[in-house]
Structure 1
Amino acid sequence: MGGNLVPDGFASVRDGLVAAIDMLAGSGFSHISRSSWYETAPVPISEQPWYVNAVIAAQTSLAPEDALAALHKIEAQFGRTRSVRNAARVLDIDLLDLDGLVRGSAELTLPHPRMHDRAFVLLPLRDVAPAWRHPVSGMDISAMMAAMPTGQDIRRAD
């Protein structure tokens, strides 16, 4: 999850993200844990403000499409509109993995198709699930980090 614009009614991007995490429990998710916070430059590089990112680990009994719909509903409650790809946003919640399920459809691809290339996913993922392996490639987080594209600016922020 992440964002780089302050949602209406909040003092900071991080405050909005914390509120979104709190909403997960009422949206079909339980046993919620959060990685450290990270500040990251936009990908691709642009003049946008830096993002605040974290990875959330949670359990759910929701079907994959229902889990994604629940996440999109939370985004919408924070004023997220999907217009231009990679545009600045108040909240972005991606479904990265769901119990190792491999799925490709127009609505949902699991695992997330670009997660292995993104420092802002892999570093916080290592915080909450250090033994996680990509269900398609079988690579662990360290191997994906070694293979990921260079030049991604990221710093721990807590």
Structure 2
Amino acid sequence: MASDRSGIFVALGANLPSSRHGPPRATLEAALQILAHEGVRILKRSSWWQSQAQPVSDQPDFINGVVETATMLEPSDLLALLHRIEAAFGRVRQERWAARALDLDLIDYQGRLSGGEGGAPLLPHPRLQERLFVLLPLQEIAPDWRHPGSGSRIDTLIEKANPIKISKL
């Protein structure tokens, strides 16, 4: 029997309460439970981090984290699952950078590179190197991680990322 694939990183974020699960942090915890219920094993999880919205706006602060997962799902199937979970939490993808009750992003899938051909997700996530709210939690659980495309070390990416107000909770 084949085993789950590990080395798959998912970023979680929220800055609005969900009607069913309450404040952002509780919503993120509930999303992790649903991922596990759907057969996506959580191998490592970062602390929760609070950050200002990026780009900077008058939105409430976000709560963010990153998990390393293991699954048999292929990247497109995992991304479809993430989108179904977001929709179940009330996320409607209409406006870019809008406030949201849940955001789940496939950040890296075993170092694979994909330009999005044939409906495949873009891998690694195309803006992850700009986002401290992804990089800092990712560094917490994968300190030796390197960007699959550029080969840049995570600490180098953190130094070059857009500065924002962010703190570990």
TM-score bucket (shorter structure): over 0.9
Counterpart CA distance in 1 for 2:83 and 2:20 is: 19
Please tell me whether residue 23 in structure 1 is matched to residue 5 in structure 2: no
For structure 2, the 5+ residue unaligned runs are: 1-11
Aligned-pair CA distance for 1:26: 2.2
Aligned in 2, Cα 1:31/1:45: closer, same or farther, shift over 3 Å?
closer
Is this contact kept in 2: 1:28–1:62, CA < 8 A?
no
Q: Does 1:149 align with 2:162?
A: yes
Instruction: State how far apart, in whole Å, the 1-side matches of 2:144 and 2:56 are.
Output: 30
Q: Quick one: which amino acid aligns to residue 63 of structure 2? A: V
Instruction: Quote the RMSD (CA, aligned, Å).
Output: 1.2
Q: State the match for 1:88 in structure 2.
A: 99
Structure 2 counterpart SS, 1:93: strand
Report SS of the residue matched to 1:59: strand
Task: Note if contact 2:86-2:102 (Cα within 8 Å) is conserved in structure 1.
Answer: yes
| One-letter amino acid of the counterpart of residue 168, structure 2 | R
2:152 equivalent in structure 1: 139
Asked if 2 retains the 8 angstrom alpha-carbon contact of 1:96 and 1:110, the reply is: yes
Paired residue for 1:40? 51
Query: What CA distance in whole angstroms lies between the structure 2 residues aligned with 1:11 and 1:92?
Result: 15
Q: Deviations over 1:14-73 (max 9, x none)?
A: 001000001111223114321011001001011100000000110111111001001111
Q: Which runs of 5+ in 1 are unaligned?
A: none
The structure 1 residue matched to 2:127, chosen from 114, 121, 124, is 114
Q: Please, what TM-score do these two structures have when normalized by structure 1?
A: 0.94
Aligned-residue identity in percent:
44
- Alpha-carbon distance in structure 1 between the residues aligned to 2:67 and 2:32: 8
Q: How many residues align?
A: 156
Residues 3 and 90, structure 1, Cα contact 8 Å, conserved in 2: yes
